[in-house]
Structure 1
């Protein structure tokens, strides 16, 4: 995905700040530990000396001396871990703690961008701070079954709203657990205010925590980008082309409130292309909508409905409008 120079530089500065912060926090922990356990400083000095001597021996090619130094260093590290543990500290207390252990807060693994760098691009290009705020509130820790009645049977499902939402949540958690090996798709549908967007955000948070790239767009936002990609010119078109490519290639695309956009032939064609291309790339999509299956079938093309019906798990959510229940 193309970034403007200032955007790219901002990401790099963020990584520099992460590394500086990690080093500063390590320095504070070292000061604390050395003050309480003076022997730790001697062990760390021994480890540093071994590292310096090992570098020299590598240049001379003296394998025997190099192996001996490695053994000495391993012994020193073991003594350090035991000493920390004996004094109530975790064994990794004197090691750098990275926000992303995979790339060690560099943004790259080898010559490839790390997943955290890719998500940083998503956050900038799609200005997803709103999603991050949403998932801090709307996640499984804050999900409550209390808003779903267990006093009546929903005729279309032959179960209570409470029984149904338990089933839906279990399916969503199974979807998360199987995501790496089975890139499935979900259609969350039901009346207004029954928790469809909330559940989509729950899934987004869990997958972001697992280092997958996630893009959240309302249907209106999605088709606005697709329109600019199709008809835009100049710099705006370059930007929308970049956005379009990442829409097709991110691990999970969430399309919220399908059906609220102005429906026309362009929307039908672009929705089909988006869904179909992501299926071909084995990328996952979650769609939430207030529309019934019959409404989807009548509003969108047969090809769109066919792709959804045959490739998405259809999860209907029933109940009263939670937003109204919270007000009263």
Structure 2
């Protein structure tokens, strides 16, 4: 490379013969490792005189290179994480997630056999392509909704999209508000990574309800994506049970094919107002 100076044309290429011994700055040092800056021998004195002292000395280490590379990696990782969280949370406004649901996590749970299974399922969801869902059945207050919420929150915190539907609320909204946008609603149901249908069977059954429930489950079935169902109804895979009596064989067969059953036994763990009040004033 050549430049024109007052004294004529100068060749900027530094030959081996003209290489100078490294000169180090007495004042400028690396803020990371403390090594002194060295004189910039890549440019001739003429250029340094033109551009000033700011380029006269340059780092003799690679600390700043490494620092900026790390910063770029951190920003990229942060951006990826934010995109994942946005994807995971984009259904929250659509789902009726109450305070209890959002605050249900594995960390706050009492370890049970069913909870251990749910934890393994949630962890597998992050590393494998999952097609099989779960159906939690048993008496009310035994932890079915809590366990499903633990799975849902675990996945959403890690960027998975989870849609939660209380079946009775879903059907009410479908009739009152969503009738003109049912296609869009079903599209969301088909797209999310996990669908949770809570309190399955608490609604009054009509032909319209049976049609909409089958369409809901069948939409999920066709995508080969998992769903979790919680219900107080009796469920037996190979025998006639409450779910078959109420919803019919067609819906029961879909659930049989899509979901692994977990039975929740025991008395209700939900605290009454009296018990909660006594805890407040006595402890």
Both proteins in one fold, TM over 0.5: yes
Shift of 1:246: 0.3
Whether 2:80 is the aligned partner of 1:103: answer yes
Q: Which has the higher helix share?
A: 1
How far residue 226 of structure 1 moved from its aligned partner, in angstroms, is 3.9
Within the alignment, does 1:321 sit opposite 2:278 as a pair? Answer: no
Number of residue pairs matched by the alignment: 219
Per the alignment, in what secondary structure is the counterpart of residue 123 of structure 1? coil
Q: How big is the alpha-carbon RMSD for the aligned residues of Structure 1 and Structure 2? A: 3.6
Contact 1:175 1:184 in 2 (8 A): no
Residue 236 of structure 2 is aligned to residue 259 of structure 1: no
Tell me how far apart the structure 2 counterparts of residues 101 and 143 of structure 1 sit (CA, whole Å): 29
Structure-2 change in CA distance of 1:193 and 1:122 (3 Å): same
Using the alignment, how far apart are the partners of 2:265 and 2:76 within structure 1? Answer: 39
Q: 1 or 2, which has the higher strand percentage?
A: 2
**Runs of 4+ that moved beyond 4 A:** 72-75, 94-100
Local SS of the residue matching 1:258? coil
2:100 maps to 1:134 = yes
TM-score by structure 1 length?
0.57
CA–CA distance in structure 2, aligned partners of residues 286 and 134 of structure 1: 18
Q: Is the 8 A contact 2:106 2:119 kept in 1?
A: no
Give structure 2 stretches of 5+ with no counterpart.
1-28, 36-59, 236-240, 276-283
> Structure 1: how far apart are the matches of 2:91 and 2:154?
17
Partner of 1:222: 170
The change in CA–CA distance for 1:228 and 1:99 in structure 2 (over 3 A counts) is farther
Change (3 A) 1:226 1:322: same
C-alpha displacement of 1:182: 1.9
Query: 1:122 maps to what in 2?
Result: 91
- Against the structure 1 CA distance between its residues 228 and 281, is the aligned structure 2 distance closer, same or farther, given a 3 Å change threshold? farther
Match among 189, 200, 216 for residue 137 of structure 2: 189
Q: 1:306 Cα deviation (Å)?
A: 0.9
Instruction: Classify 1:39/1:73 alpha carbon distance in 2 versus 1 (closer, same or farther; 3 Å).
Output: closer
Contact persistence 1:98–1:104 (CA under 8 A): no
Q: Which has the larger radius of gyration?
A: 2
1:177 to 105, 119, 123: 123
